[in-house]
Chain A
Amino acid sequence: MNINLTLIGQMIAFIGFVWFCMKFVWPPIIAAMKEREEKIADGLAAADRASHDLELAKEKAVERLKEAKEEAAGIVDSANKRANQIVEEAKEAAVVEADRVKAAAQAEIEQEANRAREALRGQVATLTLAGAEKVLGAEIDQSAHNDLVEKLAAEL
């Protein structure tokens, strides 16, 4: 347990190691740790921001959804209205058309009837003449009795 040159040797070694640590060990490790610290802090801040953004986006989405629902309800409403309108219009159009068709049919029927009546009338005149000829047994001058026959036919 003698105090000797070892003491000086240890002092020199001590200085050397401290110098080495100060120069090559401490600064890079501390720098890396500080950088990481900042990185983590940034990351946490970003995460906070992101969650805040998410919250906002959720609110926005809910709002949008509400708006969209309202809009959709409006659209459905107006569509219903429009459909009713169309149906009404169609009904009206159908009634008008039906009336028109009915009128045309009636006119045609009348026309047919008239035409038939005319034809019938003509034939009645002929038949009457033929009948009268047979009854009288003589020939009737068609031209002399034409007025009479015409009158008769008109009375039918």
Chain B
Amino acid sequence: MAAAGETQTVSEYIVHHLTNLTYGKLPGGFERYDGSIVAEGGEWTMAHGGAEASAMGFNAIHVDSMLWSIGLGILFCWLFRSVAKKAEAGVPSGFVNFAEMIVEFVDNTVKDTFHGRNKLVAPLALTIFVWVFLMNLMDLVPVDLIPHTLMLLGVEYQKIVPSTDPNITMGMAVGIFVLMLYYSIKIKGFGFVKELTMNPFSHPVFIPVNLFMEVVGLLAKPFSLGLRLFGNMYAGEMIFILIAALYGAGVLWMAPAGLMQVGWAIFHILVITLQAFIFMVLTIVYLSMAHEDH
């Protein structure tokens, strides 16, 4: 796959692969890729290259990540909804069987870890597990296949693995963080404040120290959750891109590159499943901690 054309260096190839298709608001006075100056008041447009994307700041959206992520989410909903419609007490068959296996697996994991009473946790865990798995699964699609096809159709950038976008992973992590705070306050009430201020040193003198430590610990949870998934998937994607770049290095490199790609892909089947599982388990654990009243 020589997506890296003659005019494109390897580093350009890699950077191109790591750039999202971004739609956002360029600030006024910004000089665009073609030399034109953005009018006062800014302009909503597709970004050309990383420089324009970063200039957009927060007022931008990664169209590719969003579409793939929502598309895969809909795929999940559709698959499991069809199973839910077909599910009955009789003998299950085919995909229903497989889906029920996943549901049972998630249900058991939740029962093992989460001891409170909450109707949200199990479906939340199932959604996370399958959705994150599907997003990670996009990593196994050959890196150039879809981006290059879309480039021929006129779409300049395309990153098809949503979980290599920190916005996606952090978006989910922040969502879980909100749930953690909500349940902490709902279940523990004032006890949550006490947990933040009187731990680990149970004396009023240490309140500032305790508060600092506990808040850092609390904030570390969503960050570790989101960034772990992002980091793992990003690194995996990067290696796929590097292997793909190796194809352009010469005919002699084709065989070892192919071998490496197959090897890494097989290994990655484990990684993507494991990462989806870890994300799910940590979500359950964090929510379980939010439910534990001391």
Chain A residues at the B interface, C-beta cutoff of 8 Å: 1-11, 13-18, 20-22, 24-33, 35-36, 38-39
Chain B residues at the A interface, C-beta cutoff of 8 Å: 18, 20, 22, 24, 53-54, 56-62, 65-66, 69-70, 73, 76-77, 80-81, 83-85, 87-90, 92, 99-100, 103-104, 107, 119-120, 122-124, 126-127, 131, 162, 165-168, 170-172, 174-175
Q: Which B residues touch A38, using CB under 8 A?
A: 89
B126-A3 in contact (CB<8A): no
A28-B58 in contact (CB<8A): no
> Would you list the 3 A-B pairs with minimal beta carbon distance, nearest first?
A10-B171, A6-B167, A32-B87
Given A2-B53, A4-B56, A17-B127, are A28 and B171 also a contact pair (CB < 8 Å)? no
Other than A17-B127, A22-B120, give 8 A-B pairs with Cβ distance below 8 A: A2-B54, A9-B167, A10-B66, A14-B175, A17-B131, A24-B81, A24-B84, A25-B84
| Interchain CB contact (< 8 A) of A29 among B90, B103, B120, B131 | B103
Q: Which residue of A lies closest to B119 (CB)?
A: A22
Main secondary structure of the interface of B (DSSP, over half): helix
Q: Which B residues touch A3, using CB under 8 A?
A: 58, 166-167, 170
Q: CA A39 – CA B90 in complex, angstroms? A: 9
Q: CA A22 – CA B80 in complex, angstroms? A: 11
A4-B58 in contact (CB<8A): yes
B127-A5 in contact (CB<8A): no
A11-B131 in contact (CB<8A): no
Given A17-B77, A33-B87, are A4 and B124 also a contact pair (CB < 8 Å)? no
B57-A7 in contact (CB<8A): no
B122-A32 in contact (CB<8A): no
Interface centre among B77, B99, B171 (most CB of A within 10 A): B171
Q: Which residue of A lies closest to B234 (CB)?
A: A1
Interface centre among B53, B83, B90, B175 (most CB of A within 10 A): B175
B166-A29 in contact (CB<8A): no
A1-B166 in contact (CB<8A): yes
B100-A33 in contact (CB<8A): yes
Interface centre among A4, A16, A22 (most CB of B within 10 A): A4
Q: Which A residues touch B57, using CB under 8 A?
A: 2, 4
CB-defined A-B contacts under 8 Å, sample of 17: A5-B60, A5-B61, A11-B174, A14-B175, A15-B175, A18-B123, A18-B124, A20-B81, A22-B123, A25-B83, A25-B123, A25-B126, A26-B122, A29-B87, A35-B88, A35-B89, A36-B89
Smallest Cβ distance from A37 to chain B, in angstroms?
9
Smallest Cβ distance from A40 to chain B, in angstroms?
9
A25-B61 in contact (CB<8A): no
Smallest Cβ distance from B94 to chain A, in angstroms?
15
Q: Which B residues touch A32, using CB under 8 A?
A: 87-89, 100
B81-A25 in contact (CB<8A): yes
Q: CA A81 – CA B80 in complex, angstroms? A: 83
Q: CA A8 – CA B81 in complex, angstroms? A: 25
Smallest Cβ distance from A156 to chain B, in angstroms?
121
Q: Which B residues touch A2, using CB under 8 A?
A: 22, 53-54, 56-58, 60, 167
Q: Which residue of A lies closest to B82 (CB)?
A: A25
B170-A29 in contact (CB<8A): no
Q: Which A residues touch B69, using CB under 8 A?
A: 10, 13
Given A15-B175, A21-B80, A32-B87, are A4 and B167 also a contact pair (CB < 8 Å)? yes
Q: CA A4 – CA B89 in complex, angstroms? A: 46
Q: Which B residues touch A33, using CB under 8 A?
A: 87, 100, 103-104
